[in-house]
Structures are given as structure tokens and as C-alpha cells.
Amino acid sequence: MNIATALKSDRVCKALTGLRIREFQALADSFQRNFLDAKAKQRPNRKRKIGGGRRGTIPQIEEKLFTALIYLKCYPTYDLLGFLIGLDRTRAWRWIQRLFPVLQTTLGHELVLPKRQIHSVEEFLTHFPEVKDVFIDGTDRRIQKPKNIRRRNKLYSGKRKTVTRKNVVIVDENRRVLVLSKTKSGRRHDKKVADNVLRLDLLPPEVAAWLDTGFAGVQKYHANVQLPKKRSRGHPLSHEEKENNRIISSFRVIAEHALAGIKRLRSTTDVYRNRIPNFDDRLMLLSAGIWNYHLKVAAYPTA
């Protein structure tokens, strides 16, 4: 696979991988170290030096990283991916299963992967000591409709009127994804996912939580909450309440911007079609890590 042309244009590189050339090259250095470590652990008793033997179809480390990122960004079928890298669809699938764990390890070493759960106030303060405001929201992605009626009903989202899988995110004021919930059934309510997985009651008291009306009730166990007020039958909102809701929404849109950054990668927006259980959760985690890495390099160009 010839990627030289893609690495000459920021526009093309970003369209194919989600990263600019400088970001891609910086990530490739770390990816190479982790790929060699993974290869050494795969065969700890090997006698020949790593890299010996015949050259594979994807010989260069940049090409391996490019293959993983193009799958995340463009979400091609394995037939198309195999055509791009010169392999049949089965070997293309095997390469993705081999490269994604290395990419996840690389993003973890870069400290850009979001946490999956918060277990205590002390843990939140340890990982995010500078955070004073968090913005919480949920997002759905469509999946192929199961033939089994019971499974279809379990995944049916009344809000989206289709079968979906759901994540809830906690974002800081810089649009960085701090915490990403496990991917759950679209039938679950955002607040239930937040209560059972993210444990919003473990947020430090001094950290303000900006939420939408779907999280009503959080204020019972976290007092520092900014929540729009809902109108009720016979009790319309006053002018002051409407203005306050607009102010809250203008701040809370940061969560929407972070989700939009994750969803630049088509693997999190197109209809999910993989058959591997919970593979969509890995796609969401890696996409959030790529978004955080983009923000990190933009904030610290030498990173």
C-alpha cells in the first residue's frame, strides 16, 4: 500500500485517518515501539531477531498504523479494505484484530484514552485535578436490526425509533473526553447508564456538572449541578427561566462538540455491521482516544 501521497497533504491525511500529517507521524513512533513489544510477547521464545524473514504485505510501520486508522475513519467493508492493502477480506480482518490492541496500548501510553469508570472522589481528583466543570451527555449509534425479536426489543430506542447502542461521556471544558461508559443497549436511559457506570455521585463537590433535562434527579446526590428547567402542563416557563436555560445550553454544547469530534470517524456513526461481540465498544474507545490525541497535539505541538 502506497501512502506517500496521503502523507503529502494534511487534507488528504485527515480525510483518510482523522489525523494531520504531524499528528500521524508522532503517533507512528510510539506505535512502532508497542507493535514490536506485542510481537515479542506473542513469541517470547523466538530465536530470530524481530524483523527477520520475508517482508509481509504491510511491511512498514506507518502502513500498519495507516491501515488501522483508515478503518476507524472510513469504516470500509473488509472486501474494500483488503483491496486497498492488497489482501483478501479474511486477512484484512485478521490484520485489524491484530492492530487495534496495539493502537489501544499506544493511545494508553500517550495518556489520551478516556477512563471507563470512576470508583471514588479521590480517583477523579488524581486523574483530573485541574477540572472544575464537566459536561455530560449521551450518544447513540444505529446497528443492524437483529432477526431475533427479543434481542431487537432489548436494543430498541424509543427516542431514536430504531435499534441502537449507547454511550455516555463526561467531557471537560477543553472538549477532552474524560470518561466513556461501556457501550450499552439503546433501550437504557442516559441517566441509568450514568448512575450504574459513571457514578455521578462520586464527582467532587466543587466540580460543577452541566447536564440536559434527561439527567433530572442527579441533583439529589450532587448539589453542584447546572440543569435546565422543564416546563410542565399548566406551568409554562417564565422569561427568566427561558433565558437561564439558554445560558446553560450555550455552555453544555461543549459536550456536543466533543461527541462531534469523536464522530468524525465513520466507524462510530455508520450503521454498525460487525459480528464480534462488543467490538463497537472498542471502536468508540479508540475513536475517543484519537480525538483526545488530536486535542493534545494541538495544545502541545511538541507532544
Annotated domain spans of the chain: 6-109, 121-276
With cell 485527515, the residue in question is: 14
* DSSP state string for 188-214: S-HHHHIIIII-GGGS-TTSEEE--GG
Question: What span, in angstroms and rounded, lies between the C-alpha atoms of 113 and 30?
Answer: 14
Rounded percentage of the chain residues whose pLDDT exceeds 90: 56
Q: Is pLDDT larger for residue 56 or for residue 21?
A: 21
Q: Among candidates 184, 166, 174, which has minimal Cα distance to 291?
A: 174
Residue 197 is predicted with a pLDDT of: 75
Spatial separation of the C-alpha atoms in residues 162 and 110, rounded to whole Å: 37
CB 178 within 8 A of CB 128: yes
Per the CB < 8 A criterion, the answer to whether 186 and 140 are in contact is yes
C-alpha cell at 150: 427479543
What's the pLDDT score for residue 231? 83
Which helix (H) or strand (E) segment holds residue 32: the answer is helix 21-42
Name which residue leads in pLDDT, 43 or 158: 158
Does the global pTM surpass 0.85?
yes
69-119 pLDDT, tens digit each: 999 999 999 999 999 988 999 999 999 999 999 999 999 999 999 999 888
CA distance 137 to 170: 7
What is the spatial distance between Cα 280 and Cα 170, in angstroms, rounded to a whole number?
A: 19
Distance CA 260, CA 252 (A): 13
pLDDT tens by residue, 105-122: 999 999 999 999 888 899
Q: What share of the chain is helix, strand, coil (3-state, %, to 5)?
A: 50, 15, 35
Residue 303 confidence (pLDDT) above 50? no
Q: Grid coordinates in use for 68?
A: 488501522
CB 195: neighbour CB atoms within 10 A?
17
| pLDDT reported for residue 48 | 73
Dump pLDDT digits (tens) for 182-210: 999 999 888 888 887 777 788 888 999 89
Cell 491525511 locates to: 13
Query: 6 Cβ partners below 8 Å, 6+ apart?
Result: 12, 13, 16, 17, 66
- What share of the chain has pLDDT > 70, as a percent? 97
